[in-house]
Amino acid sequence: MSNAKVTLDGTDHQFPIVEGSENEVGIDIAKLRGSTGAVMLDPGYGNTGSCQSSITYIDGENGVLRYRGYPIEELAEQVSFEEVIHLLVWGELPNEERLEDLKAKLTEYAVVDEGIKKILEGFPRHAHPMAMLSSLFSAYETYYPTTGDSEEDVLRVLAGINTLAAYIYRYKEGLPYVYPSKDLDFSSNFLHMTYGSHGADPDIDEVVAKAIDKLLILHADHEQNCSASTTRMVGSAKASLYASIAAGVGALSGPLHGGANQAVLEMLRNIQEGEGDVAEYVELAKDKSSSFRLMGFGHRVYKNFDPRAKILKASADDVLDSLGLDDPLLDIARELEQVALEDEFFVKRRLYPNVDFYSGIIYRALEIPTEMFTVMFALGRVSGWVAQWQEMRNDPAFRIHRPRQIYIGENERSVPPISER
């Protein structure tokens, strides 16, 4: 296969075929408009490859997810989140020396300017943490002006998210801030800054730290999803990394994207509180006259079990066991999964549990407030956004992202005087 033929008004046009390293096939239509005057129409971009990327590979049909070739299952079991950050952002797993260096830098850059804290304290305490997070990343630009491409910006963002997430929690709870410790790894530092006592030595539960680390790894990247594409889009205007990440946080906050993990827990809680049983919720999700969807089910790309959901399902059991907890919401989640997986509506549309279905149960066991769930998603995902942003900026084919449209509005008309409107 080398070319694809498009026939328009009886004339044939040839377009090159591009093959990916996993035999994915794309038609390169970069010259389509120039040679035919036509554009492709693909609302929602479900059939559009926006770039060539060597970061993350997903095979949605077979439930496969790999970061730079490594299966997510192996990464989740065998490496730390810092190693995954290095893999995504610097392209390879680090050796010991590189890893130690990265860890040291992640604590060095985790310290945020006192002014950032003042901005945080200007927000109403009841505000959503994702709105706070996005605003604080925007504010980074005012404290750490950037030329756009330096490694320092990258480290500041990668390390900053840890502190910002923890400080947002502390501020909302009315607690004094706990500063990052240089002796702790990323996940333990998050726990220390979030739950530690001001001035006291860190006291970290290893099981909890390991669970957080795994969650961060599973959320680290997912190729050209809505927030990664947003981050690339904003960065393609040569906006700073901070402005691009702030936009990515905004995209992630939506309930159809990162906000789904919060929505899952709220749904399970409603079932628990008797506002309907599992079967009723399944029926409501199938009812086309209702806009309700079963939260945590379905995925734009996975038409098979989300591999992250598989890992988290087992992890939820482990975490609850080791913390000696028995969460009735986990039982409801299992029942819901069972009913949905056997229901023809879900089977036919290949709707399986996604990453958000079980992550909420684990966050809850770790006593992370529901409102903070999407921030936890961002805590992992920032590394993916940074990797995607850098790849876009270093791409030899770099151009500002600027889609076209098919205009369906009024044809030219004259402005009538106001008395005739």
Catalytic residues: 299, 356
* Alpha carbons 63 and 40: distance in angstroms, whole number: 29
Q: Which pair of tokens denotes residue 218?
A: 């599973």
Please identify, using beta-carbon distances, which residue of 293 and 334 lies nearer to ligand COA.
293
Please identify, using beta-carbon distances, which residue of 208 and 228 lies nearer to ligand COA.
228
Q: Does 349 bind ligand COA (CB under 6 A)?
A: yes
Long-range contacts of 138-147 (CB under 8 A, 24+ apart): 138/242, 138/243, 138/246, 139/115, 140/116, 140/242, 141/240, 141/242, 141/243, 143/113, 143/115, 143/116, 144/113, 144/242, 146/240, 146/241, 146/242
Total of chain residues touching ligand COA, rule CB under 6 A: 16
Which residues are within 8 A (CB) of 123 and not within 5 positions of it... i.e. 6 or more apart? Answer: 131, 132, 135, 171
Nearest to 189 by CA among 90, 74, 63, 105: 105
Please identify, using beta-carbon distances, which residue of 163 and 354 lies nearer to ligand COA.
354
Q: Does 279 bind ligand COA (CB under 6 A)?
A: no
Q: Does 354 bind ligand COA (CB under 6 A)?
A: yes
Q: Using the rule CB under 6 A, which residue among 294, 361, 368, 379 binds ligand COA?
A: 294
| Minimal distance, residue 97 CB to ligand COA, in Å | 36
Nearest to 50 by CA among 351, 399, 413: 399
Which residues are within 8 A (CB) of 318 and not within 5 positions of it... i.e. 6 or more apart? Answer: 211
Q: Does 219 bind ligand COA (CB under 6 A)?
A: no
Q: Does 307 bind ligand COA (CB under 6 A)?
A: no
Q: Using the rule CB under 6 A, which residue among 156, 214, 219, 299 binds ligand COA?
A: 299
Sign of CA dihedral 358, 290, 299, 250: negative
Nearest to 31 by CA among 20, 40, 21, 43: 40
Q: Using the rule CB under 6 A, which residue among 260, 271, 332, 333 binds ligand COA?
A: 260
Q: Using the rule CB under 6 A, which residue among 94, 196, 248, 296 binds ligand COA?
A: 296
Q: Using the rule CB under 6 A, which residue among 356, 363, 365, 372 binds ligand COA?
A: 356
Q: Does 347 bind ligand COA (CB under 6 A)?
A: no
Q: Using the rule CB under 6 A, which residue among 285, 330, 362, 365 binds ligand COA?
A: 285
Please identify, using beta-carbon distances, which residue of 125 and 349 lies nearer to ligand COA.
349
Q: Does 269 bind ligand COA (CB under 6 A)?
A: no
For 85, counting Cβ atoms within 10 Å of its Cβ (0-12 exposed, 13-18 middle, 19+ buried), the class is buried
Q: Using the rule CB under 6 A, which residue among 140, 297, 358, 373 binds ligand COA?
A: 297
Please identify, using beta-carbon distances, which residue of 160 and 380 lies nearer to ligand COA.
380
Residue matched to tokens 């040569």: 238
* Alpha carbons 194 and 168: distance in angstroms, whole number: 9
| Minimal distance, residue 288 CB to ligand COA, in Å | 7
| Minimal distance, residue 102 CB to ligand COA, in Å | 28
| Minimal distance, residue 312 CB to ligand COA, in Å | 12
Q: Are 71 and 136 in contact (CB under 8 A)?
A: no
Q: Does 295 bind ligand COA (CB under 6 A)?
A: yes
Q: Does 293 bind ligand COA (CB under 6 A)?
A: yes
Q: Which residue is nearest to ligand COA (CB)?
A: 298
* Cα-based distances in Å from 72 to 64, 196, 220, 309: 8, 31, 10, 11
Q: Using the rule CB under 6 A, which residue among 256, 279, 325, 347 binds ligand COA?
A: 256
Please identify, using beta-carbon distances, which residue of 33 and 349 lies nearer to ligand COA.
349
DSSP for residue 371:
G
Residues near ligand COA (CB under 6 A) are: 256, 260, 285, 293-300, 349, 351, 354-356
